């Protein structure tokens, strides 16, 4: 029996190591995004500063460990064997859930995951205890620390609103002071803002966080508490004067210092607040095992875990070891880099390709916001309105140095300072606030205040924010349900089920690792040195067009075939494929302005042909969608087909395939002299379509039957004519692009199709 529970404890610690690696990969974006987005320093320096912050914060996290032991459930109602089931179920669920989100590149909340996993496993075991007890005097709610759980959950979700609001308000006032012309206002406000930022970080991280550390003596804590006001005043005045002197007599960028210190602070706050998510449960399991062994009991089912109610000081060794694992993960994890895109895309100052489409709710919010803004502009005095607009005019103040930045150092410093303060407050109150929620919503609030969500991008950004928030609720539901199911399986299956689950977890982790590695290699495929810009466009654009024509050809052929054979499911999948292709080309189209900015004056003709290539690709994909949709709608409504023209339609489909194959061969061999032949084949296809349509009209007039299928045929065939036209135009435009680039200089930096 003892060896069985030793095995469980060992498994818990192994899972803790895995959870640290996976969890940090997910949460690294929370404290790295601002420094990376503003390019405050080289990536290696940012990483080193964050690593030190994580290591220091790990030592300050001891007070948070109580959440895993008694924050969600009442341990005195559970026996030792039941507690171990809960802890094991939580850890298995956590590594699988977080690894899934890391693999698909979406940041989720490790805090929400662990809270709802503990809640799900505890509820599962409590239900089984109540349902199997003969004379139980307790209800399921007695086993759960309902008041504390509700407070934690409300605190987590309330942080979404609070973080967004505070980030927006502070950013508005800071930007009003600095404006976007930071070079002009730098000497007036930077010293004051830097002094405030450093003092705020010092107060919340070193004073509020100090009481949770095992390294701060009670006497020192008492002194700090008694002299808090004096310490803060000295810090504010001292840092402000120091920064102002740096501005006057050196060329040191104080905002960069603020951002890097903020990165350290947020990394420290993250480790202090979130370390419990990774090692709190294994440590609680270890303490439970020690208490059981010390009791001398031989019946794990009869020994109630009242011992978990007692305060426990976590050995510094465990905290430092966990910190070191987190630091190594920051250095070597590739998944940590793949999760950063969402926050940067939604908060960047400039326009460009948007990751999310617009939604009805987002359009409604933007419409109401525009109306409110217009009304406020009418009420406010014109002088004040002009002054505020001048401070928030980003375009007028934009310089070449700002290119490639998601946002400037002013916003980056606000992101870091506000987020670290909020998280540190939560830590000091022993509330496991979600680091992801706080940092993400602060970034969204500062983006809104900074005017990053303009009329051109607002609906897409708001849709993205709503999508991410919806994903957080999905995380909570999934964590609860998965932990509930795994705890149920372990409760009844014991060791065999534990071994099966561990093997399954290892298998899934290996598969997701292989998937992520392959995807990362594909993303880096075009990132090669020594290739000139013109050659890149020649090879990549040609290859991209060829791939898209091949995809269109396959979807087109199978769509007609599936329609003739009335295969509803196949046609539904083809419709999805066509929409996905259309979405890919739309992203290329949205990147056109960014690409054209990199063309030199003597390559404007090439830029014109490039725009035409993308435009015809988009028209080609649009035609494909409009061909499939009426066919799918026809089958979806269970309408009948007319077999009379089946043979002619099959011949048309085969001839269409030959047309596409000829276009593809021109692209592959670059035999653009054959375009006239392609044009002749295009005319043949259009004549064939016209003949089928004429016969369809004769059939319809003669029989007065098959109205629905006739309308469907007409829609599909007329759009097919447009498709053939667009394919020919695309091949011509590609030929012109290739010719213009061959004759152009080869020493420019032209953007690629992305």
Q: Which two tokens stand for residue 607?
A: 């830029």
Within a domain: 337: yes
Within a domain: 527: no
Report the pLDDT value the prediction gives residue 746, as an integer from 0 to 100.
Answer: 47
> Any long-range contacts for 143-148 (C-beta under 8 Å, 24+ apart)?
143/73, 143/74, 143/77, 143/78, 144/72, 144/73, 144/74, 144/119, 145/70, 145/71, 145/72, 145/73, 145/74, 148/71, 148/72
Return the CATH number at 570.
1.20.58.220
Least confident of 62-71, 265-274, 659-668, 693-702: 62-71
Within a domain: 437: yes
Are both 473 and 582 inside the same structural domain? Answer: no
Cα–Cα distance between 51 and 330 in angstroms, integer?
Answer: 7
Are both 511 and 537 inside the same structural domain? Answer: no
Tell me what the mean pLDDT of segment 167-171 comes to: 88
More confident residue, 346 or 271: 271
With CA atoms as reference, report the closest residue to 635 among 565, 716, 705. 565
Within a domain: 754: no
Tell me what the mean pLDDT of segment 546-567 comes to: 89
Q: Does position 644 have pLDDT exceeding 80, yes or no? A: no
More confident residue, 312 or 543: 543
Residue 525 Cα distances to 103, 529, 588, angstroms: 19, 11, 17
Are both 104 and 192 inside the same structural domain? Answer: yes
The domain boundary, picked from 498, 520, 542, lies at: 520
Report which DSSP code applies to 43: H
Are both 512 and 555 inside the same structural domain? Answer: no
Considering the entire predicted model, what is its pTM? 0.67
pLDDT, the chain, mean: 77
Report the pLDDT value the prediction gives residue 328, as an integer from 0 to 100.
Answer: 80
Are both 490 and 560 inside the same structural domain? Answer: no
Q: Taking the CA of residue 128 as centre, how many other CA atoms within 13 Å lie in the half-sphere pointing to its CB? A: 18
**Residue pair 249/36 in contact by the 8 Å Cβ criterion:** no
More confident residue, 277 or 11: 11
- Residue 147: which pLDDT band, with cuts at 50, 70 and 90? confident
Within a domain: 568: yes
Are both 260 and 227 inside the same structural domain? Answer: yes
Tell me what the mean pLDDT of segment 617-641 comes to: 89
Cα–Cα distance between 231 and 204 in angstroms, integer?
Answer: 12
- Residue 436: which pLDDT band, with cuts at 50, 70 and 90? confident
Are both 451 and 558 inside the same structural domain? Answer: no
- Residue 400: which pLDDT band, with cuts at 50, 70 and 90? low
Within a domain: 32: yes
Report the pLDDT value the prediction gives residue 60, as an integer from 0 to 100.
Answer: 67
Q: Does position 485 have pLDDT exceeding 90, yes or no? A: yes
Residue 709 Cα distances to 563, 565, 625, 702, 715, angstroms: 11, 14, 18, 15, 10
The domain boundary, picked from 520, 544, 575, lies at: 520
Tell me what the mean pLDDT of segment 9-24 comes to: 78
* Angle, CA of 195, 213 and 159, to the nearest 5°: 65
Cα–Cα distance between 476 and 108 in angstroms, integer?
Answer: 10
Q: Which two tokens stand for residue 345?
A: 């895309």
Least confident of 226-240, 414-428, 546-560, 739-753: 739-753
Q: Which two tokens stand for residue 722?
A: 């447009």
Q: Which two tokens stand for residue 9?
A: 């404890």
- Residue 117: which pLDDT band, with cuts at 50, 70 and 90? confident
Report the pLDDT value the prediction gives residue 11, as an integer from 0 to 100.
Answer: 83
Are both 448 and 541 inside the same structural domain? Answer: no
Q: Does position 284 have pLDDT exceeding 60, yes or no? A: yes
Q: Does position 750 have pLDDT exceeding 50, yes or no? A: no
Are both 515 and 538 inside the same structural domain? Answer: no
Q: In total, how many domains does the chain have? A: 2
CB atoms within 10 A of CB 739: 14
Q: Sort residue 3 into left (φ over 0), alpha (ψ -120 to 50) or beta.
A: alpha
Q: Taking the CA of residue 406 as centre, how many other CA atoms within 13 Å lie in the half-sphere pointing to its CB? A: 24
Report the pLDDT value the prediction gives residue 107, as an integer from 0 to 100.
Answer: 60
Are both 314 and 224 inside the same structural domain? Answer: yes
Report the pLDDT value the prediction gives residue 575, as an integer from 0 to 100.
Answer: 92
Report the pLDDT value the prediction gives residue 555, as an integer from 0 to 100.
Answer: 92
**Residue pair 245/237 in contact by the 8 Å Cβ criterion:** no
- Residue 574: which pLDDT band, with cuts at 50, 70 and 90? very high
With CA atoms as reference, report the closest residue to 543 among 360, 734, 403, 732. 734
The domain boundary, picked from 520, 554, 573, lies at: 520
**Residue pair 284/71 in contact by the 8 Å Cβ criterion:** no
**Burial of residue 556, with CB atoms counted within 10 A of its CB: 0-12 exposed, 13-18 middle, 19 or more buried:** buried
Least confident of 11-25, 135-149, 383-397, 692-706: 135-149
What domain range is 77 assigned to? 2-520
Are both 459 and 566 inside the same structural domain? Answer: no
Are both 445 and 575 inside the same structural domain? Answer: no
């Amino acid at each position: 029996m003892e060896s069985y529970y030793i095995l469980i404890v060992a498994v818990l610690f192994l899972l803790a190591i895995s959870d640290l690696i996976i969890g940090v990969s997910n949460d690294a974006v929370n404290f790295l995004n601002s420094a990376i987005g503003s390019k405050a320093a080289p990536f290696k320096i940012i990483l080193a500063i964050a690593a030190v912050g994580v290591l220091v914060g790990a030592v300050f996290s001891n007070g948070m460990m109580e959440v895993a032991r008694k924050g969600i459930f009442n341990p005195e109602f559970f026996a030792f064997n039941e507690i171990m089931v809960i802890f094991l179920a939580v850890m298995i669920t956590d590594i699988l859930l977080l690894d899934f989100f890391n693999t698909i590149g979406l940041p989720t909340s490790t805090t929400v995951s662990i809270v709802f996993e503990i809640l799900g496993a505890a509820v599962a075991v409590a239900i089984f205890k109540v349902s199997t007890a003969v004379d139980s005097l307790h209800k399921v709610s007695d086993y759960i620390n309902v008041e504390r759980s509700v407070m934690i959950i409300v605190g987590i979700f309330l942080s979404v609103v609070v973080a967004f609001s505070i980030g927006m308000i502070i950013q508005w006032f800071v930007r009003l002071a600095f404006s976007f012309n930071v070079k002009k206002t730098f000497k007036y406000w930077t010293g004051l803002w830097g002094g405030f930022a450093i003092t705020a970080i010092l107060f919340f991280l070193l004073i509020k966080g100090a009481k949770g550390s095992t390294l701060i003596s009670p006497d020192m804590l008492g002194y700090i508490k008694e002299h808090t006001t004096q310490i803060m005043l000295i810090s504010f005045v001292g840092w402000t004067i120091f920064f102002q002197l740096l501005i006057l007599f050196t060329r040191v960028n104080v905002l960069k210092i603020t951002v890097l210190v903020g990165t350290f602070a947020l990394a420290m706050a993250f480790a202090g607040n979130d370390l419990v998510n990774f090692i709190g449960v294994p440590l609680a399991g270890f303490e439970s095992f020690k208490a059981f062994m010390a009791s001398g009991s031989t019946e794990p089912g009869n020994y109630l875990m009242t011992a978990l109610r007692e305060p426990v000081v976590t050995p510094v060794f465990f905290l430092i070891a966990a910190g070191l694992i987190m630091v190594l993960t920051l250095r070597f994890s590739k998944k940590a880099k793949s999760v950063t895109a969402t926050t940067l895309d939604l908060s960047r100052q400039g326009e460009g390709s948007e990751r999310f489409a617009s939604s009805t709710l987002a359009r409604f919010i933007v419409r109401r916001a525009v109306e409110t803004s217009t009304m406020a502009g009418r009420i406010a005095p014109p002088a004040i309105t002009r002054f505020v607009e001048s401070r928030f005019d980003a375009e007028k103040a934009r310089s070449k140095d700002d290119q490639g930045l998601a946002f400037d150092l002013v916003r980056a410093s606000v992101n870091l300072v506000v987020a670290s303060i909020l998280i540190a407050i939560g830590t000091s109150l022993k509330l496991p606030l979600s680091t992801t929620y706080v940092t993400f919503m602060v970034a969204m609030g500062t983006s809104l205040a900074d005017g990053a969500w303009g009329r051109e991008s607002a609906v897409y950004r708001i849709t993205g924010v709503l999508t991410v928030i919806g994903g957080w609720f999905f995380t909570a539901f999934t964590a609860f349900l998965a932990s509930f199911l795994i705890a149920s399986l372990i409760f009844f299956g014991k060791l065999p089920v534990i071994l099966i689950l561990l093997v399954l977890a290892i298998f899934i982790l290996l598969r997701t690792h292989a998937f992520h590695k392959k995807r990362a290699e594909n993303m880096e495929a075009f990132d090669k040195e020594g290739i000139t810009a013109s050659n890149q466009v020649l090879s990549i654009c040609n290859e991209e067009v060829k791939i898209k024509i091949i995809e269109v050809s396959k979807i087109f052929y199978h769509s007609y075939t599936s329609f003739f054979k009335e295969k509803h499911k196949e046609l539904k999948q083809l419709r999805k494929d066509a929409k996905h292709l259309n979405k890919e080309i739309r992203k290329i189209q949205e990147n056109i302005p960014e690409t054209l900015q990199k063309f030199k004056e003597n390559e404007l003709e090439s830029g014109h042909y490039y725009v035409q290539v993308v435009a015809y690709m988009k028209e080609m994909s649009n035609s494909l969608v409009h061909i499939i949709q009426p066919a799918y709608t026809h089958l979806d409504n269970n309408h009948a087909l007319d077999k009379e023209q089946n043979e002619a339609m099959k011949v048309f489909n085969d001839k269409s395939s030959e047309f596409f194959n000829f276009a593809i061969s021109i692209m592959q061999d670059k035999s653009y002299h054959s375009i006239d032949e392609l044009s002749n084949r295009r005319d043949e296809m259009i004549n064939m379509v016209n003949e089928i349509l004429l016969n369809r009209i004769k059939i319809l007039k003669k029989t007065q039957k098959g109205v629905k299928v006739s309308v469907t045929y007409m829609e599909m065939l007329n759009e097919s004519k447009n498709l053939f036209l667009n394919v020919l135009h695309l091949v011509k435009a590609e030929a012109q692009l290739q010719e213009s680039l061959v004759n152009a200089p080869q020493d420019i930096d032209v953007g690629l199709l992305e």
